[in-house]
Amino acid sequence: MRIKITKILFTIYSFTIAFILFYPTIQLAIVAFTDDINFPPSRFSLKAFEEILWPFWVSLRFSIALGLLVTVANILMCLPLAYLFERYKIKGKTLLEMLIFMPFIFPGISYMSAMFIFYLWYFPQLMDTFIGIAIPTIIFNTVYMLRSIRASLSMIDPVYEEAAMTLGASPIKTFFKIDLPLLLPGLLSGSLIVFANSSTAFIAPQVLGRKIISTATKQIFDDMGEYGLLPFIAVEALIVEALVMGIILIIYFLFRKRLSFRL
């Protein structure tokens, strides 16, 4: 009886936390389908969807491109690093791990301010460019991908790799036939986190892109500063959330058996 009550209490607690976390999105959706921001709404309308400004759609394409580039770049960067940390004993390993974690430890605005000064002194041509924003975003998300891949790699017994190479498989063939299928859960979970985080990046575009180039989140912030809190801004925010969550859910359901929900 006590176990049953405890289970019920934990279930209620879990749903309460989930509701608290999800309620802002519910409120956002309500405002998006009205013609004012009052609550409760006086009437529902689709007018706000017609008022979305063209710069938002441009910034949305930029966000998707940034998310894809950062995700692919992090996979290519972190696979060798994960192997280095998990399969080899090297001097200065702890220091190297600490240096990789440094951008994540520092406040985002501090790190991007440092990148701003670095660009200003040495690479001014990278200011207000797609690559200029992508570079610090890639660095800032390295931790997420590296941790995810290392978690999967740490559970792969090296004996499988040794057996494959003993039977004549090359290191490259061993990687694609043995390691990659087993690493897929870590790669997918890391990719989902990195894509969601980078496609909605705000600090890097705000500091390094300024008024020339922006992600959808920065564009929403700029629209809010210029027009105030209007229903069409709620629509823009809702579109960003729906797009990112939609991509994540599609990938998750396609690979749910391999993911084992490692998010």
pLDDT over 70 for what percent of the chain?
Answer: 92
Class of CATH domain 54-259: mainly alpha
To the nearest whole number, what is the mean pLDDT of the chain?
Answer: 83
**Residue 179: its pLDDT value, please?**
82
Q: Using one digit for the tens of pLDDT, what is the confidence trace for 206-234?
A: 888 876 667 888 888 888 888 877 888 88
Rounded mean pLDDT, 100-111: 80
| Average pLDDT value for residue range 39-45 | 72
Query: pLDDT-derived band of residue 261, with 50, 70 and 90 as boundaries?
Result: very low
Residue 263 scores a pLDDT above 60: no
| Better pLDDT: 43 or 140 | 140
Cis peptide before 231 (omega within 30 of 0): no
**How sure is the predictor about 88, in pLDDT bands with cuts at 50, 70 and 90?**
confident
pLDDT score, position 92: 76
Domain spans in the chain, listed from the N-terminal domain onward: 54-259
- Residue 105 pLDDT > 50: yes
Is residue 67 over pLDDT 90?
A: yes
Q: What pLDDT does 215 receive?
A: 85
